[in-house]
Amino acid sequence: MKIRVFSLLLALAILLTGCNLLPDAGEQPREVSESSIWAMDTQMDLRLYGDTDGVVMAELTATLNRLDHTLSATAADSALTALNESGWTDDRDIVYLASNARKISEQTGGALDITLLPVSRLWGFTTGSYGVPAAADLEALRDRVGMDKLSLTDESVSVPAGTKLDFGALAKGYAADLCRARMEEAGLSGLLALGGNIQTVGTKPDGSDWIIGVQDPNDAGRYILTLRLTGSKAAVSSGDYQRYFVQDSVRYCHILDPETLAPVRGSLRSVTVVANEGLLADGLSTALYVLGREAGTELWRQRGNFEAVWIEDDGVVWVTPGLKDRIADGDCQVIEP
Ligand code: AMP
Ligand code: MG
């Protein structure tokens, strides 16, 4: 089915990249507080309604800064670096993330793999010294990667020497979950844009839907689809336009296929996942990018706990049926249930 819906309301400027926040009509500025910080390698924009004394904003900022430090794979004194050097941690954020990563990995046939850090390094994604590595150097890393390397208990994570973890695929979603929980506890609504991760929280003061935009992979200043979301939802995009290098006219993106140990090559430009939980949406967006549209569609049919938007390199946009009535603007095809 082909859909084309126009909305004059949405002829508005775009604010951010990835999934994007669009300005709201009729919002009540008196109650709005906004803050932008740099954390977890990205700009984070927080908009809260009703945080009159600024206490919750300060708490969210502290949470994001804590996670930035705990989960840094490059900072010498982070808890993640300690795990990657010693092979053991009882850090509670890392234990929670590792156990949830393992669940999502199992659900996606291993497409999500948090042990690929040495592989990312070899391709230059952690340093910016990009280049296609020698096949032998990649193969030499094989016995250090794989989700079977993780040993988890309720309180700890252990990995063998040489295995190194990276939570880049789901850390921002987890951060959004923690912020959402605190806002809900405080009775606040708002909108969080943590890089390409959007988290809506509660209901806008004027009762209208949240409007988010899905970025055009070819144009950071344009949205290809806009969606109306109700209540607390996470919308997370993974794509080949976010971090990549070009060598010999081939584009190599930062999302790696655990089977080939190489950047994903296929016809997908991006996947956006909409779900109730940020961690799930973030982990799935990365995994669905690895899987491609066909396998991702099959996963949606089996599990049904998320909605998704796939943008193909021919420019066609596919959405799951649950988003059909949520499209505010843009052309798309709806996948068969
Ligand atoms: P995202 O932007 O959420 O799709 O996550 C991409 C980041 O996750 C990359 O920059 C890597 O740090 C890491 N990563 C790359 N490929 C994978 C993968 N297959 N599974 C888990 N993490 C990955
Ligand atoms: Mg992700």
What is the pLDDT confidence band of residue 171, given thresholds at 50, 70 and 90? Answer: very high
Lowest mean pLDDT among 12-21, 88-97, 102-111: 12-21
Mutate to test the pocket of ligand 1, among 116, 127, 311 (most ligand atoms within 8 A of CB): 116
Report which bound ligand comes closest to the CA of 73: 1
Q: Which two tokens stand for residue 165?
A: 């973890």
In order of 1, 117, 266, the CA distances from 335 in angstroms are: 8, 34, 19
244 lies in a domain? yes
Please state the rounded mean pLDDT for residues 104-109: 98
Write down the pLDDT at residue 2.
Answer: 40
297 CA distance to ligand 1 centroid (A)? 20
Rounded Cα gap, residues 112 and 167, in angstroms: 10
Q: Whose CA is nearest to atom 15 of ligand 1?
A: 255
Instruction: Report the nearest atom of ligand 1 relative to the CA of 112.
Output: 20
The pLDDT of residue 17 is above 60: no
Instruction: Report the nearest atom of ligand 1 relative to the CA of 172.
Output: 3
13 lies in a domain? no
Identity (one letter) of the amino acid at 138?
A: L
7 CA distance to ligand 2 centroid (A)? 30
316 CA distance to ligand 1 centroid (A)? 24
Instruction: Report the nearest atom of ligand 1 relative to the CA of 243.
Output: 10
14 lies in a domain? no
Give the pTM.
0.92
259 CA distance to ligand 2 centroid (A)? 18
Domain CATH for 90: 3.10.520.10
27 CA distance to ligand 2 centroid (A)? 30
Q: Rounded to 5 degrees, what angle do the CA atoms 62, 68, 70 make? A: 100
196 CA distance to ligand 1 centroid (A)? 13
Report which bound ligand comes closest to the CA of 257: 1
Domain extent for 306: 71-188+209-337
Question: Residue 122's closest CA among 103, 112, 136?
Answer: 136
Write down the pLDDT at residue 193.
Answer: 97
Residues less than 5 Å from ion ligand 2, measured at CB: 169, 282, 285-286
Question: Residue 194's closest CA among 65, 32, 52?
Answer: 65
In total, how many domains does the chain have?
A: 1
Q: Rounded to 5 degrees, what angle do the CA atoms 101, 181, 28 make? A: 130
2 lies in a domain? no
What is the pLDDT confidence band of residue 18, given thresholds at 50, 70 and 90? Answer: very low
Q: Whose CA is nearest to atom 3 of ligand 1?
A: 169
Instruction: Report the nearest atom of ligand 1 relative to the CA of 256.
Output: 16
Rounded Cα gap, residues 200 and 332, in angstroms: 23
Rounded Cα gap, residues 11 and 328, in angstroms: 11
Report which bound ligand comes closest to the CA of 278: 2
In order of 25, 91, 273, 331, the CA distances from 70 in angstroms are: 38, 8, 26, 41
Which residue bears the tokens 């740099």? 38
DSSP character string of 241-293: TSSEEEETTEEEES-EETTTTEE--SSEEEEEEEES-HHHHHHHHHHHHHHHH
8 lies in a domain? no
Strands 189-194 and 197-201: antiparallel
Which residue bears the tokens 């010498």? 76
120 lies in a domain? yes
Among the residues of 140-198, which ranges form H helices? 171-185
305 lies in a domain? yes
291 lies in a domain? yes
Read off the pLDDT of residues 218-249 as tens digits, 9 standing for 90 and up. 998 999 999 999 999 999 999 998 899 999 99
Taking CB atoms and a 6 Å cutoff, what residues make up the pocket around ligand 1? 112-114, 116, 120, 166, 168-169, 238, 242, 254-256, 258, 282, 285-286, 290
What is the pLDDT confidence band of residue 21, given thresholds at 50, 70 and 90? Answer: low
Which residue bears the tokens 């344009």? 222
Write down the pLDDT at residue 84.
Answer: 98
Question: Residue 106's closest CA among 150, 159, 171?
Answer: 150
Rounded Cα gap, residues 165 and 243, in angstroms: 19
262 CA distance to ligand 2 centroid (A)? 17
Per the CB < 8 A criterion, the answer to whether 200 and 233 are in contact is: yes
Per the CB < 8 A criterion, the answer to whether 253 and 288 are in contact is: no
Greatest CA separation found in the chain?
A: 61
Lowest mean pLDDT among 29-43, 76-90, 190-204: 29-43
Read off the pLDDT of residues 248-264 as tens digits, 9 standing for 90 and up. 999 999 999 999 999 99
